[in-house]
Chains A and B, each alone.
Chain A
Amino acid sequence: MRARRFRTTLAALTVLAVLCLPGCGSGGETASPPPAGDGARITGDVTVFAAASLAESFTRLGRDFEAAHPGVRVSFSFAGSSALANQINQGAPADVFAAAAPANMKTVTDAGNGDGTPATFARNQLVIAVPEGNPGGLTGLADLTRPGVKVALCAEQVPCGAAARRVLTAAGVRVTPVTLERDVKAALSKLRLGEVDAALVYRTDVRAAGGDVDGVEFPESAGAAYEYPIVLLSDAPNVRAGRAFVDLVLSAAGLAVLTAAGFQAP
């Protein structure tokens, strides 16, 4: 008998809760429409699609954002910019897109999926990633052609590969890589596993890798610095929170987090 009564109570509570879902809790606020602009309370979930190289800094910014707006949850999808651009154009539900290259942003804005013009929020440069302490003594691009030096590059279809190609062509250095990796993290993991002696990756990735990877800067990389654009998506399920997140990325506080990760100001 007792168990049954308990179950009945539970069922009643469940029904109440379901009925309550749309209305309860916001009763006080619905009396007057929330004011637009910065003063508006930001609620709900915000989904950010961001280039793999932004993983560390955006995760940090996401935590800052959640701290500034209690109750808001930021979820990220970090992947290659081109894969993300494809997903957005196929209708993936995202609020914000941050790409590692203008070309991938163009894929999205050309399809009419961007809300307004994308803004550039950071730049990133290539460096030669080497194992900690640089045991091979590599000092510049030309050293990548030394016999016995195994090099991993990104495939040309992804931004870091296109950048590597541009840098190497401009410098007139012919490198024969042992592998063309699918993204910058994969190239770096080949280095960390000791399978290659060097990889051309972004400076931010070397920074994020921590102690076991060193970066060798080279002057030719300045010519192929990539601009990172960010945009609010036109089908954003949570426009207000999405816009606020974009504002955070573009703010001085956002830039501070980004430069700490190795990015340069736009």
Chain B
Amino acid sequence: MPAALLLPAALGLLFLVLPLVGLLVRTPWSTLPHRLAEPEVLTALRLSLQTATLATLFCLLLGVPLAWLLARVEFPGRRVVRALVTVPLVLPPVVGGVALLLVFGRRGLLGGWLDATFGITLPFSTAGVVLAEAFVAMPFLIIAVEGALRGADTRYEEAAATLGAGRWSAFTRVTLPLVAPGIAAGAVLCWARALGEFGATITFAGNFPGRTQTMPLAVYLALETDLEAAIVLSLLLLAVSVAILASLRDRWITAP
């Protein structure tokens, strides 16, 4: 193994892991069980897991077709669309939250109409949390799926077409299974990003325990008064997400 690769690789790992060590060093292990058993903690954790999962489903529903469009269909302005898709990656999440308010808020471009027509108000609601998380996380899914689609061999789809499959059935029965690992990887990235989302959520959906207070928001507010409580909450979020991601990775993402 060449040392020229191994050394920076080890340094990279260290760089990523050291902050975690910092958290573990300051963890108040003796009061840990007591702190974890507090009902607000479990409420925030449950809300986080629910909203991140719903946001991922939302992203799959809209993001996979969009990735397909970008990878498979030639149309004018495709480069621009591809750049637009990555806007939420570049935008500071707080700005993303304000932008969402300007569209879906009470006085927003669509918000007033949504409220008047369907009685839907998104700010300060759990649905608003899902929306904010999806906005920030969707690019991760789209980029991963588009990459997988570009890497996939189109001859399978062509073969399916010559055998009489329509475009839809070729997509669902040939293309989707072909890029399933890419979709899974994208969904995992998307879910992880949604789980850690803070800025857009607190700006668009506000902060109220049980309704919109996810774990990152609870961590932020705990940090205001109690460093140790914040560390405990961060560790819990970290442990749960790593456990879920590790189990999924073994099951879904391992390449054959």
Decide yes or no whether B96 CB sits under 8 A from chain A: no
Interface check A20, CB cutoff 8 A: no
- The answer to the question of B242 belonging to the interface, with a C-beta cut-off of 8 Å to chain A, is no
**Are A179 and B208 interface neighbours, CB within 8 A?**
yes
Q: Is the CB of A157 within 8 A of B206?
A: no
Per the bound structure, the CA–CA distance linking A194 and B209 in Å amounts to: 22
Residues of A within 8 A of B227 (CB): 86
Contact with B along A162-181 (1 / 0, CB 8 A): 00000000000000011111
B221 lies within 8 A of chain A by Cβ: yes
A152 adjacent to chain B (CB < 8 Å): yes
Chain B residue at minimal CB-CB distance from A85: B224
B222 within 8 A of A: yes
Nearest-Cβ distance from residue A128 to partner chain B, whole angstroms:
18
Q: Is the CB of B124 within 8 A of A178?
A: yes
Q: Which residues of A contact B123 (CB under 8 A)?
A: 195
Given A177-B208, A193-B101, decide whether A182 and B106 contact each other with a Cβ distance below 8 A: no
Query: Are the C-beta atoms of A157 and B225 separated by less than 8 Å?
Result: yes
* A265 / chain B contacts, CB cutoff of 8 Å: none
Tell me if A155 is interfacial: C-beta within 8 Å of chain B. yes
Distance (Å) between the CB of B219 and the closest chain A CB? 11
Rounded to whole angstroms, the CA-CA distance of A178 and B206 in the bound complex is: 8
Contact of A178 among B102, B208, B221 (CB under 8 A): B208
The reply on A73 being an interface residue by CB < 8 A is no
Contact pick for B221, options A155, A177, A194, CB 8 Å: A155
A243 located at the interface, meaning its Cβ lies under 8 Å from any Cβ of chain B in the complex: no
Closest residue on chain A to residue B102 by CB atoms: A193
The count of residues in chain B whose C-beta lies closer than 8 Å to any C-beta of chain A is 23
Inter-subunit contact B207/A193 (CB<8 Å):
no
B224 x A157 contact (CB < 8 A): yes
Please tell me if the beta carbons of A180 and B106 are within 8 angstroms of each other in the complex: no
Set of chain A residues within 8 Å of B102, measured between Cβ atoms: 193
Tell me which residues across on chain A come within 8 A of B105, comparing CB atoms.
193-195
B231, chain A: closest CB distance, angstroms: 12
- Whether A80 contacts B224 by the Cβ 8 Å rule is yes
Write out the residue numbers on chain A whose beta carbons fall within 8 Å of the beta carbon of B106: 194-195
Contact between B101 and A195 (Cβ–Cβ < 8 Å)? Answer: yes
Report B99-118 residues with CB < 8 Å from chain A CB: 101-102, 105-107
Chain B positions within 8 Å of A178 at CB level: 124, 206, 208
- Chain A residues with CB below 8 A from B223, complex form: 82-83, 86
Of residues B101, B107, B224, B227, which shows the largest number of chain A Cβ atoms within 10 Å of its Cβ?
B224
Distance between Cα atoms of A152 and B212 in the complex (Å): 14
Q: Nearest chain-B residue to A180 (Cβ)?
A: B207
Whether, in the assembled complex, A158 has its beta carbon less than 8 Å from a beta carbon of chain B, the answer is: yes
| List of A residues within 8 angstroms of B212 by Cβ | 179
Is B202's beta carbon under 8 Å from chain A? yes
Give the Cβ gap from A28 to chain B, nearest Cβ, in Å. 48
**In the complex, how many angstroms separate the beta carbon of A205 from the nearest chain B beta carbon?**
18
Q: Is A190 an interface residue (CB 8 A)?
A: yes
Do B221 and A182 touch (CB < 8 A)? yes
Interface string of B211-229 (1 = CB under 8 A from A): 0110000001111110100
CB contact list, A81-138 vs B, under 8 A: 82-83, 86
The closest CB in chain B to the CB of A150 belongs to B124
Interface residues of A in 180-207 (CB under 8 A from B): 180-182, 186, 189-190, 193-195
Q: Does B98 contact A (CB under 8 A)?
A: yes
Q: In the complex, what distance in Å separates the CA atom of A189 from the CA atom of B220?
A: 19
Determine the chain B residues whose CB is within 8 A of the CB of A189 once the complex forms. 98
0 or 1 for each of A148-162: is its CB under 8 Å from B? (1 = yes) = 001010010110000
Of A152, A155, A193, A195, the residue contacting B224 (CB under 8 A) is A155
Closest A residue to B198 by beta carbon equals A182
Given contacts A194-B106, A194-B107, A195-B101, whether A179 and B224 have CB atoms under 8 Å apart is: no
A83-B224, A182-B224, A186-B202 given; 15 more Cβ-contact pairs under 8 Å = A82-B223, A82-B225, A150-B124, A157-B221, A157-B225, A178-B124, A178-B206, A180-B206, A180-B221, A181-B206, A182-B207, A182-B221, A190-B206, A193-B107, A195-B123
The 16 sampled A-B contact pairs (Cβ below 8 Å) are A82-B223, A86-B223, A155-B224, A158-B224, A178-B124, A178-B208, A180-B221, A181-B207, A190-B206, A193-B101, A193-B105, A194-B105, A194-B106, A194-B107, A195-B101, A195-B105
